[in-house]
Amino acid sequence: MYLSRRKFLKTTGMSALAAPVLLNSLSSCSTGEKDTKPFGIQLWTVKEDMAKDPLAVLNLLSDYGYRQIESFTGDKGPFWGMPAKEFQKVLGDLGMKMVSSHVDPRFTIDPASEDDYKKLCDDCASIGVQHLFNPYPGPQGSSDDWKRLAEGLNRQGALSKAAGVKSGYHNHHQEFTVTPQGDLPYSILTGNTDPALVDFELDLYWAVKAGQDPQKWFRETSGRISFAHFKDLYPEEKVKELDASDEPRTEEWPVGASTFLGNGRIDFAAILKTGKEHGLQYCIVEQERFDGSTALDDSRKDAEYMKKLLAGS
């Protein structure tokens, strides 16, 4: 059962700053969302707000309609400074569940980190979290580098399987850049990992930005991609405008060009249909750029889009 909003504000000690923002939002939100097909959000989207007041932000996300949470390992850990069971209760009282998290890439790369990873797997398993993803392993040069990464994912997957959790991999754009040896890293990773041990989370934005067809990857790796990041990409003309006006973060990372869902070029309805036919189970919203808006405002827009998208699927 959900906590009443008044009781939640009282029992969580929500900040005086956050409460008015929350109550204003609640008054404008629609009801009757219990029958909506569940979808989630990667908390990286609202990371600055979470750092200030995680309880207030989680309550807002629940009210927007999010029912699944994908966390990440920041300064406070994937449970935001709380014991795992406490974080589970906070989410449960809001009608939400943590389904996955992005974790430290060293768990894939460094065997010396195995004890830390086992502890994290046990904590996650204790609250029903079933998927842990390597979000970014750092630059990889040759095909052999990518093959070693696949070996690390298999090792990591065996450790997590023992705890009842599944390891996985989340892409950016470099997985779709051909190596000097002529191989595509995403093919190396999918082809050299054990399906019983390793899942994939396809970031639709990065795939499309790299010139890929997400539907092709769902078909060619059927059953391997259980998660997808629903993150929209500005139309080509807007991307060119941003490229000309924004400085890339580094040479490795192109200018960010994400926008709220439905404001870009990605055909999510077609991708969703194909994805579901080939094993897609979790639709996770993510956004990293907020032109003329805020992360929370755009998260609300993203949730409204997802409700309509999933209602028609």
Question: What is the rounded CA–CA span in Å between residue 84 and residue 112?
Answer: 24
pLDDT value, residue 34: 55
Mean pLDDT, the chain, integer: 91
Tokens of 309: 């998208």
CB under 8 A, 24+ apart: contacts of 44-49: 44/72, 44/102, 44/286, 44/288, 45/285, 45/286, 45/287, 45/288, 45/295, 45/299, 46/295, 46/296, 46/299, 47/72, 47/74, 47/295, 48/295, 49/295, 49/296
Contact 140, 186 (CB under 8 A): no
Tokens of 213: 């067809």
Per-residue pLDDT of 83-117, as tens digits, reads 999 999 999 999 999 999 999 999 999 999 999 99
pLDDT value, residue 5: 39
Q: In the structure, what pLDDT confidence band is assigned to residue 35 with cuts at 50, 70 and 90?
A: low
The share of the chain scoring above pLDDT 90, in percent, equals 84
Count of CB atoms within 10 A of residue 262's CB? 15
Q: Is the pLDDT of residue 1 over 70?
A: no
Q: Is the pLDDT of residue 256 over 50?
A: yes
Q: Is the pLDDT of residue 147 over 90?
A: yes
Q: Is the pTM of this model over 0.95?
A: no
Burial (0-12, 13-18, 19+ Cβ within 10 Å), 216: exposed
Question: What is the rounded CA–CA span in Å between residue 297 and residue 293?
Answer: 6
Q: Which domains does the chain have, with CATH numbers?
A: 34-311 (3.20.20.150)
The mean pLDDT value for 216-239 works out to 97
Tokens of 48: 């600055």
Q: In the structure, what pLDDT confidence band is assigned to residue 30 with cuts at 50, 70 and 90?
A: very low
**In terms of DSSP H, where are the helices of 95-135?**
106-109, 114-126
Count of CB atoms within 10 A of residue 200's CB? 25
Q: In the structure, what pLDDT confidence band is assigned to residue 247 with cuts at 50, 70 and 90?
A: confident
pLDDT value, residue 246: 85
The mean pLDDT value for 48-76 works out to 97
